[in-house]
């Protein structure tokens, strides 16, 4: 039986008061998750015992560091259903989408080509394509939503049928709406109607919450951030289908040490080994080790159970928050449509920032603003939303504390 209270014991940071008499209720995991003690320990162990640069040494510590880095890569790749060579470590999701733009987009797109994305995208999966369009002359098409909640699949199908669609980029789980998009259905529409198109899946909010298998999803690129999935900040992943790497369709976008074959004064050749080719410079070994430990932690919990726990929390949050006058939760209703990870809401009287500040004074950490989805907020007419978001350690009691903190909101605003 999944017991979030037991899971919570692995996260020392959660056991503190943030104001006198107010224990921390951390509901900001979509921005970043907390890290289990074990993740922090393996990183400290690495620095205390094994630290050296990888690949370039013959001494014992360098061997250990290289071994640990290789094993970490294997573990993280496996966790997302990819082969080791298909995983490129990046700093985060944002660096991963930029990597696609520079390493693939600049070499494969031209004037008049079409990039398709959606209205619910995080800026990391939108601004990057706007810039790519500026560089290449490609055009951006943004698919709208139905009921301010889900991707309009009819419009999506219509747009991917247009000629010259070369890249389709969309999010797996929306960080603002909680919507879980029907990836398989969307991928099959693209494969049927835009045979040449490559598909990017922004999995920043799905990898932490549900089983993700790169090969099964049949996308070409998958992007995620370690810090949202119990791992450290500063490491994330870009998974690329092997044939794109082997054929040279996807090229390195960072150049320098570690990724070369032979270097002359005027020219260089590059490494054959795919891991080396996409690892320019010294990698963040400790963070890779920490991320691998986070994957093991999630594997031990079982991603099916993690997902079930998350769905239950979302359902519970809907039920409990629906009793608060003036509050409206955005995104799809859980009884009608798959959603997980977070609940964001607007209040008819109280501004999102005021809400977040008052909730904080009761120890409840939530986030307010546009959550890096400005076009979505503008289209829906929300100046800002307040978001409570969950992870493996979140409990129904956390949601109860959130609901209780609204008493203070009511008192202050005389509601
Ligand atoms: N995509 C989604 C859906 C996200 O939620 C986030 C982070 N909020 C990102 C991309 C960007 O992640 P990062 O800041 O780690 O690059």
In order, the DSSP letters of 196-264 are T-EEEEE-TTTTTTS---HHHHT-SEEEEEGGGTTS-TT-EEEEE-HHHHHTTSS--S--STTSEEEE-
CB atoms within 10 A of CB 260: 15
pLDDT in tens, 383-392: 999 999 999 9
- 10 Cβ below 6 A of ligand 1: no
Residues 233, 227: Cα–Cα separation, whole Å:
5
pTM over 0.95: yes
User: For position 102, what pLDDT does the model report?
Assistant: 98
Place of tokens 């008061």: 17
User: For position 159, what pLDDT does the model report?
Assistant: 98
At residue 16, what are phi and psi to the nearest 5 degrees?
A: -160, 160
User: For position 229, what pLDDT does the model report?
Assistant: 98
Residues 194, 77: Cα–Cα separation, whole Å:
28
Alpha-helical (H) ranges within 17-175 are 37-45, 60-79, 93-100, 106-108, 127-136, 153-160
User: For position 361, what pLDDT does the model report?
Assistant: 98
pLDDT in tens, 48-102: 999 999 987 789 999 999 999 999 999 999 999 999 999 999 999 999 999 999 9
- 225 Cβ below 6 A of ligand 1: yes
At residue 240, what are phi and psi to the nearest 5 degrees?
A: -130, 135
Task: Determine the distance separating the centroid of ligand 1 and the alpha carbon of 122, expressed in angstroms.
Answer: 7
- 97 Cβ below 6 A of ligand 1: no
Of 248, 253, 151, 249, nearest in space to 197 by CA: 249
Of 401, 414, 406, 408, nearest in space to 14 by CA: 401
Task: Determine the distance separating the centroid of ligand 1 and the alpha carbon of 12, expressed in angstroms.
Answer: 25
Contact 47, 286 (CB under 8 A): yes
- 202 Cβ below 6 A of ligand 1: yes
User: For position 310, what pLDDT does the model report?
Assistant: 97
Task: Determine the distance separating the centroid of ligand 1 and the alpha carbon of 97, expressed in angstroms.
Answer: 10
- 94 Cβ below 6 A of ligand 1: yes
* CA atoms 101, 103, 107, 108: torsion sign: negative
What average pLDDT does this structure show over 338-363? 97
What average pLDDT does this structure show over 385-400? 98
As annotated, the active-site residues are: 372
Report residue 22's pLDDT band, with 50, 70 and 90 as the boundaries. very high
Q: Return the structure tokens found at 3.
A: 């017991």
The CA-based diameter of the chain, rounded to the nearest angstrom, is 74
Task: Determine the distance separating the centroid of ligand 1 and the alpha carbon of 260, expressed in angstroms.
Answer: 31
DSSP 139: E
- 171 Cβ below 6 A of ligand 1: yes
User: For position 321, what pLDDT does the model report?
Assistant: 97
Give me the percent of the chain exceeding a pLDDT of 90.
98
Alpha carbon dihedral 366, 311, 190, 123, in 10-degree steps, equals 0
User: For position 364, what pLDDT does the model report?
Assistant: 98
Which of 89, 175, 209, 212 maximizes ligand 1 atoms within 8 Å of its Cβ, making it the mutation to test the pocket? 175
Does residue 303 register a pLDDT over 80? yes
User: For position 55, what pLDDT does the model report?
Assistant: 81
Instruction: Report the nearest-CA residue for atom 7 of ligand 1.
Output: 31
| Atom of ligand 1 lying closest to residue 94 CA | 16
pLDDT in tens, 157-180: 999 999 999 999 999 999 999 999
Name the helix (H) or strand (E) containing 169. Answer: strand 165-171
Phi/psi zone of residue 331: left (φ > 0), alpha (ψ -120 to 50 degrees), beta?
left
Which of 93, 236, 341 maximizes ligand 1 atoms within 8 Å of its Cβ, making it the mutation to test the pocket? 93
pLDDT in tens, 125-155: 999 999 999 999 999 999 999 999 999 999 9
DSSP 326: T
Does residue 275 register a pLDDT over 90? no
């Amino acid at each position: 039986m999944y017991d979030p209270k037991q899971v919570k014991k692995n996260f020392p940071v959660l056991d503190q008061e943030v104001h006198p008499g107010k224990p921390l209720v951390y509901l900001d995991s979509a921005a970043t998750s907390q890290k289990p003690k074990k993740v922090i320990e393996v990183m400290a162990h690495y620095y205390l015992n094994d630290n050296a640069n990888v690949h370039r040494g013959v001494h014992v510590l360098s061997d250990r560091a290289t071994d640990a880095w290789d094993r970490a890569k294997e573990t993280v790749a496996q966790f997302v259903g990819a082969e080791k060579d298909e995983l490129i470590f990046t700093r985060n999701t944002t660096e991963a989408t930029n990597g696609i733009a520079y390493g693939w987009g600049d070499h494969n797109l031209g004037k008049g080509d079409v990039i398709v994305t959606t209205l619910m995208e995080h800026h990391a999966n939108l601004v990057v394509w706007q810039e790519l369009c500026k560089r290449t002359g490609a055009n951006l098409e943004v698919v709208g939503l139905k009921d301010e909640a889900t991707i309009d699949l009819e419009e999506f199908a219509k747009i991917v049928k247009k000629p010259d669609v070369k890249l389709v980029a969309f999010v797996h789980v929306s960080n603002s709406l909680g919507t879980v998009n029907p990836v398989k259905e969307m991928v099959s529409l693209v494969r049927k109607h835009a045979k040449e198109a490559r598909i990017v899946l922004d999995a920043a909010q799905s990898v932490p919450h549900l089983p993700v298998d790169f090969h099964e999803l049949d996308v070409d690129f998958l992007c995620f951030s370690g810090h949202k999935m119990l791992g450290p900040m500063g490491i994330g992943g870009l998974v690329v289908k092997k044939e794109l790497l082997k054929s040279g369709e996807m090229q390195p976008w960072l150049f320098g040490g570690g990724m070369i074959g032979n270097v002359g004064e005027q020219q260089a050749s590059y490494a054959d080994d795919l891991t080396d080719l996409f690892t320019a410079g010294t990698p963040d070994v400790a963070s890779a080790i920490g991320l691998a430990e986070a994957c093991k932690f999630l594997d031990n919990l079982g991603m099916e159970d993690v997902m079930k726990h998350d769905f239950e929390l979302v359902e519970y949050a809907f039920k409990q928050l629906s009793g608060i006058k003036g509050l409206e939760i955005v995104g799809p209703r859980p009884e009608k449509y798959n959603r997980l990870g977070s609940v964001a809401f607007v209040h008819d009287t109280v501004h999102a920032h005021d809400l977040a500040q008052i909730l904080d004074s009761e120890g409840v950490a939530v986030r307010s603003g546009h959550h890096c989805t400005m076009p979505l907020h503008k289209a829906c007419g929300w100046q800002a939303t307040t978001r409570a978001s969950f992870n493996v350690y979140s409990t129904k009691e956390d949601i109860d504390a959130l609901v209780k903190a609204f008493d203070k909101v009511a008192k202050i605003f005389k509601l």
